[in-house]
């Protein structure tokens, strides 16, 4: 950690932010002169917000879904699903390093703003935001690494950067530190909402929601319910699920309790690489689909009337025969991949109708076979029909152009993400595939509702649990639980948990929450030791998750080498 904190000796030059969309560098200003006005203090705070975008802190958070049942991936984070990570794995080390850099930025703000000669109300709000942000990052790191070395604002980086030798605290002490930060934030006069000019800054309800989440993860369900219920004040589900992930405005709606603000367009390269890693070769900038939806995810989406989906009802033998899968999905293209020669039209019609009959979130989230996608080809918006095809000689064609999209960049035959991926160039809103201009949720109201359902279910309050699940289902446009047929029944604790299990999968796919859910439920080792297949039955890889090791990530070996007081996690 020390070698990364060294750069914070010039901390003022690191402070970039988005307050009033102003990212003015203070590289000409001494640290003594920095913290003298309200605007300077706010700019310092924006450096903490900006640090959340670091690739391996939250910037590529969505990629971590590959270590779950809802996604698969190659390159980038594939070592998670293959079980081949080590204590020197780059992105794991970077999460630790990026996290502690963010924490030290927050410490710098808290240390300096406390003594700044500015109006007390403004000072308290800035301090409240900084305490929340520090708690958020510590909680995020604790989720992956367990107990942590704890450093607060009493650490003076200009004097102590060579002496950061704290041992790891226990998980309980780390959690207590996080709770204390959030309790401090509660006392700082944060508003329930900011005006549009300050959208994205921490609110009172964000603090309450994170506190509730911390208690839920700690299995303190009474406290979880108390704080999660409070955090719903002033928020409502956005009416259009799709709008949450595109430019319709849902990403700035009151559903967002705390999100990372992203910008795009000419001169506004200030976003996250959602398109870059979740888009296809047909997406703006020609992207890499390092993460793709799993076949398991698609099978979890129910019919609108609540019936579970079963491929064999549509195509007998589908689940056991790759020949049936081939007959359903495989098309033939000419040798130059410019034209579809033949397509199983009857099967196509049946599949398209099935899509329309299913949970509407499926088509919002995933680009499905035989559906269209507004791609970007030859520098213009182009409608792509997604098919999988072989050419006339029987060779699989690997391309994505000239009016259709098929086969992903890794050679797998999989679905693609539609969620967070621009259609065309979003009318000029995206000019850089690494800066997708859609805000990324850390906590949104649907998450709070399903966390409340989980906490109430653990308390034995099935009525309240089902009530909150149904709020999410109603917005989605699917049948409510306990509203008629037996397949909608959810009465026992296990029945309700199974509903929460699936509802969180389909609601939050590609948002980076699923890996954490499976690990905290201690289900990863039972679900992630298996073969992964594409929708045509083609094997992709073998998943490996070691029960005695992989529930926590390894502490970076460099940190242990520098600080012998830090002990490694079991199995690493």
**Alpha carbon distance 519, 569 (integer Å):** 15
CA angle 250, 515, 413 (to 5 degrees): 80
The per-residue pLDDT for range 524-563, each reduced to its tens digit, is: 999 999 999 999 999 999 999 999 999 999 999 999 999 9
**Alpha carbon distance 174, 142 (integer Å):** 8
pTM: 0.94
pLDDT band at 242 (very low <50, low <70, confident <90, very high): very high
CA angle 133, 509, 426 (to 5 degrees): 85
Q: What is the pLDDT of residue 217?
A: 98
Q: What is the pLDDT of residue 421?
A: 96
Q: What is the pLDDT of residue 15?
A: 35
Q: Mean pLDDT for the chain?
A: 91
pLDDT band at 396 (very low <50, low <70, confident <90, very high): low
Percent of the chain topping pLDDT 70: 91
Q: What is the pLDDT of residue 406?
A: 61
The per-residue pLDDT for range 8-21, each reduced to its tens digit, is: 323 333 333 333 33
The three state secondary structure string of 326-355 is HHHHEEEECCCCCCEEECCHHHHHHHHHHH
Q: For 252-256, 410-414, 502-506, 538-542, which range has the lowest pLDDT when averaged over its residues? A: 410-414
The per-residue pLDDT for range 405-448, each reduced to its tens digit, is: 765 666 789 999 999 999 999 999 999 999 999 999 999 999 99
Q: What is the pLDDT of residue 411?
A: 77
- pLDDT at residue 463 above 50? yes
**Alpha carbon distance 424, 421 (integer Å):** 9
The per-residue pLDDT for range 323-380, each reduced to its tens digit, is: 999 999 999 888 777 788 899 999 999 999 999 999 999 999 999 999 999 999 888 9
Q: What is the pLDDT of residue 350?
A: 97
Q: What is the pLDDT of residue 397?
A: 58
**Alpha carbon distance 382, 108 (integer Å):** 48
Residues 57, 542 contacting (CB under 8 angstroms): no
Q: Which residues pair with 259 in a beta bridge?
A: 441
The mean pLDDT value for 90-98 works out to 97
The overall longest dimension of the chain from CA atoms, in Å, is: 76
354: exposed, middle or buried (Cβ count in 10 Å: 0-12, 13-18, 19+): middle
- pLDDT at residue 6 above 50? no
The mean pLDDT value for 231-246 works out to 97
Which among 245, 235, 303, 165 has a CA at the least distance from the CA of 426? Answer: 245
Percent of the chain topping pLDDT 90: 80
Residues 326, 382 contacting (CB under 8 angstroms): no
pLDDT band at 161 (very low <50, low <70, confident <90, very high): low
The per-residue pLDDT for range 116-139, each reduced to its tens digit, is: 999 999 999 999 999 999 999 999
Q: What is the pLDDT of residue 158?
A: 66
Q: What is the pLDDT of residue 566?
A: 97
- pLDDT at residue 286 above 80? yes
**306-338 CB burial, b ≥16 within 10 A, e <16:** beebebeeebeebeeeeebbbebbbbbbeeebe
Q: What is the pLDDT of residue 416?
A: 95
Q: What is the pLDDT of residue 439?
A: 96
The mean pLDDT value for 53-68 works out to 97
The mean pLDDT value for 170-195 works out to 97
128: exposed, middle or buried (Cβ count in 10 Å: 0-12, 13-18, 19+): buried
The mean pLDDT value for 20-45 works out to 67
């Amino acid at each position: 950690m020390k070698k990364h904190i060294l750069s914070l000796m010039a901390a003022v030059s690191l402070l970039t932010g988005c307050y009033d969309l102003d990212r003015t560098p203070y590289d000409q200003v001494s640290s003594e002169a920095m913290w003298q006005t309200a605007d300077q203090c706010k700019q310092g705070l924006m450096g903490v917000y900006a640090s959340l975008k670091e690739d391996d802190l939250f910037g590529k958070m969505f990629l971590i879904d590959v270590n779950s049942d809802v996604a698969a991936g190659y390159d980038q984070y594939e070592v998670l699903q293959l079980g081949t990570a080590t204590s020197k794995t780059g992105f794991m080390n970077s999460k630790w390093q990026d996290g502690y850099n963010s924490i030290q930025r927050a410490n710098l703000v808290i240390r300096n703003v406390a003594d700044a000669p500015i109006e007390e109300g403004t000072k308290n709000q800035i301090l409240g935001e900084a305490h929340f942000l520090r708690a958020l990052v510590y909680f995020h790191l604790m989720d992956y690494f367990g107990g942590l070395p704890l450093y607060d604002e009493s650490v003076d980086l200009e004097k102590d950067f060579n002496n950061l030798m704290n041992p790891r605290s226990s998980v309980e002490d780390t959690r207590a530190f996080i709770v204390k930060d959030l309790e401090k934030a509660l006392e700082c006069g944060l508003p329930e909402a900011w005006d549009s000019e300050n959208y994205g800054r921490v609110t009172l309800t964000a603090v309450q929601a994170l506190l509730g989440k911390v208690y839920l993860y700690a299995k303190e369900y009474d406290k979880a319910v108390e704080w999660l219920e409070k955090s719903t004040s002033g928020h409502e589900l956005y009416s259009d699920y799709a709008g949450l992930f595109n430019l319709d405005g849902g990403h700035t709606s009151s559903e967002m309790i705390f999100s990372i603000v992203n910008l795009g367009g000419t001169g506004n390269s200030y976003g996250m690489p959602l398109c870059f890693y979740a888009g296809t070769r047909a997406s703006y900038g020609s992207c890499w689909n390092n993460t793709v939806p799993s076949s398991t995810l698609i099978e979890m989406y129910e019919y609108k009337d609540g019936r579970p989906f079963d491929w064999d009802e549509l195509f007998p033998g589908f689940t056991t025969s790759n020949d049936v899968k081939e007959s359903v999905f495989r098309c033939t293209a000419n040798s130059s991949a410019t034209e579809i020669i033949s397509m199983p039209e009857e099967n196509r019609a049946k599949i398209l109708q099935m899509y329309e009959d299913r949970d509407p979130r499926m088509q919002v989230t995933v680009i499905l076979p035989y559906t269209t996608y507004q791609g970007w080809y030859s520098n213009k918006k182009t409608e792509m029909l997604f098919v999988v095809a072989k050419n006339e000689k029987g060779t699989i064609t690997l391309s994505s152009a000239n009016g259709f999209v098929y086969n992903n960049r890794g050679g797998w035959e999989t679905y693609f993400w539609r969620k967070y991926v621009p259609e065309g160039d979003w009318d000029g809103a995206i000019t850089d595939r690494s800066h997708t201009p859609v805000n990324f949720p850390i906590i949104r109201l649907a998450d709070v509702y399903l966390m409340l359902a989980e906490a109430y279910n653990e308390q034995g309050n099935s009525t309240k649990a089902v009530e909150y699940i149904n709020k999410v289902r109603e917005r989605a446009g699917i049948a409510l639980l306990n509203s008629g047929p037996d397949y909608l029944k959810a009465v026992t604790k296990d029945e309700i948990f199974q509903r929460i299990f699936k509802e969180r999968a389909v609601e939050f796919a590609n948002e980076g929450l699923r890996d954490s859910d499976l690990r905290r439920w201690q289900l990863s080792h039972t679900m992630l030791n298996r073969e992964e297949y594409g929708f045509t039955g083609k094997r992709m890889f073998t998943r490996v998750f070691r029960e005695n090791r992989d529930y926590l990530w390894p502490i970076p070996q460099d940190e242990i080498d520098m600080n012998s007081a830090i002990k490694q996690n079991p199995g690493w």
